[in-house]
A and B are shown apart, each in its own frame.
Chain A
Amino acid sequence: MSEEFEPRVIAFCCQYCAYSAADMAGSMRLQYPSNVEIVLIPCTGRFDVILALKAFEAGADGVYVAGCLVGNCHFLDGNIRAQQRVDYLQKELKNIGIEPERLAMYNLSASQGPRFAEIVNEFSEIISRLGPSPIKKNLAA
């Protein structure tokens, strides 16, 4: 079962960094798991906990937010605020018995295409280890 499991991951990517990095990873023909679904956001400051919650409700196994390096946000502190929201939601997920590791925040720059591929691999690995989301299991049932 665990070998067949292909995690479904939703990545909220800032257009100024992670989204461009994903583009670069593509141009560089870098390999990374195809089960990550990228959602473009204008800044990680746009990320809201409800977006991640809706993704989990719809059956995502993992959600991550990828924003600019600390200090490099185009809108000054959008990435810091996103980090706060991620931290907050991780606690809420833990409170209802869902592994907080299913939600993560990463920081990278637009020039880090290889790092983008690395993050996708790293996060997919974490989610694969955790197994399917307990919500999804029951959604399918």
Chain B
Amino acid sequence: MELAVWVIILPLLTAFSLGISKLYFKKIFFKLVIGSAILYLYLLILVITTSYPPKVYSIGQWGLLGINLMVDPLSALFLLIIALLFLPFIIFSMKYTKCIKHDYFIFSYLMVAGISGMVLTTDLFNLYVFMEVSSLSSCALSLYKKTDRGIEGTFKYLIMSTFGSFFILLATILTYYLTGTLNMAEISLAFEDTPFTIKSTIMAFFVFGYAIKIGLLPMHAWLPDAYEDSPIPYNVLSSGLVMKSAVYALIRGLYIMFGIDFLDESGLLTIVVFWGVITFITAHCLAFQQSNLNRLLAYSTIAQIAYIMIGLFVGTEAGLIAGSFHILNHAIMKGTLFFVVGIFNYSLAAVEIEDIKGLGYKFPILSFTFVVGSLAIVGLPPFNGFMSKWLIVEAALEAGFTYAAFFILVGTFLSLTYYLKVIVTLYTKNEKPLLIEEAGLSLKLPTIFLGSLCIVFGIVPSLPLHLITKIPTFLLDNGDYIRILIGG
């Protein structure tokens, strides 16, 4: 039982001991950072391999009253993303963050603790607390550069995110008021005879709160602002994990507590699919206008998460598999792209698209990685993005959302327009002499690792799908999940 608990405790503990070592033992600080990350990776792999069949861990002797952790395939997927991104993130940040790094690592460990808590817990309020932990530390990280734009963007991010949190908290309180419990399984049982209107109101609050954190259409504006002047390795974790954890919380909450039948009945599935279509079309239009690479990638993140939402909310088994696969793939692809942009930023302080002109000939391998990442995210074969998009379109067609499937292909075309703009700039000859600070191996290695994953998961998609295909079992039929949770 201890293993799953340690997934949360280890980063928390590391964060605190990093704080202490910053004050008293500065010498071992970085050894601690790296050592803990490696240990964490090992721990995550152990937990992921034991994720099927799902297991419940009760903390303390409280049974259902206390906090229960549960590792099911969906949580395991998120743990897998943490496992894939966190160590590269740490290695990359070691070199990338030039000045004071101590706070940076403390906050990143806190953030990961929050996210791993979110994906493991089965308690609604606990979920809220962990979400606040991760979003606050995420704000602290995004603030890290302390530039005008960075602070402004983070302020807007924090206000919007808190605004969303209020509605999540409100919905949580109302749920507790109605059911008298915070355990998701018990809520689900107690919800069965709640009036339709009240249930759907609560659901609307949940959806709205998380939609702000996910960045669906009218609530997306904070995201590019927050990304514009934040440390770029943070953006990797943010788009790969922080936003995805909101997606996780949303689908976990909706599918387990309300159940797929209610989602269908209340029309939420149709609404979210339509919402997703509007979101990604708009985001693609906006992304084309951007001259700042970070903003461009941020808008692309909005669009990609809209694809994920469509996949997850068509309400079929295939859709859930497709959406979950795209969650993983997007984390990898966006990680690759942000890492490459991060290296360009590190080497010659490039932020605009114009700044990277001609770098294709200076950094052949990195540019190739960028090309791979962007083609993958556009959704061209034979990369991983294509596989998950294929699955999403197939699922949408199967579930009868023909328009969504069609617009996903249109969106693919639109996303190519701006990624190709960057690629073409990358391979345009530049006469200007460039001042280049050589990027070390510690920057290149994580980038190339993620880039090669894009190709590997594209050619051998059965590798992650092995895990992912088990996800719908415990979401579509929430009975299984509830039985396991209550029984354990």
- Whether chains A and B associate is no
> Which residues of A does B touch, CB under 8 Å?
none
